[in-house]
């Protein structure tokens, strides 16, 4: 896991904790609390999306190599 992924996880975990605390404490209305929660979840999923895109590119490159090997 690289530094960027760790940073995203820490920020998203903090946002989720803050959002849960705000919702439980009724310090703010439901919209900002839910917005923080959704933002935290999205930030938590970003590394998986980027890793998935990287894996798809890697997979396509390997398939291309296999096709080249099979043709020769």
| 3-state SS record for 5-72 | HHHHHHHHHHHHHHHHHHHHHCCCCHHHHHHHHHHHHHHHHHHHHHHHHHHHHHHHHHHHHHHHHHHC
Tell me the average pLDDT of the chain: 73
Query: In the prediction, which pLDDT does 34 show?
Result: 66
pTM: 0.39
What average pLDDT does range 26-30 have in this prediction? 57
């Amino acid at each position: 896991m690289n530094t960027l992924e760790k940073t995203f996880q820490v920020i998203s975990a903090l946002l989720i904790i803050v959002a849960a605390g705000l919702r439980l404490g009724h310090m703010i209305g439901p919209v900002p609390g839910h917005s923080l929660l959704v933002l935290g979840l999205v930030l938590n999923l970003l590394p998986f999306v980027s890793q998935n895109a990287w894996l798809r590119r890697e997979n396509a490159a390997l398939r291309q190599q296999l096709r080249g090997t099979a043709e020769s």
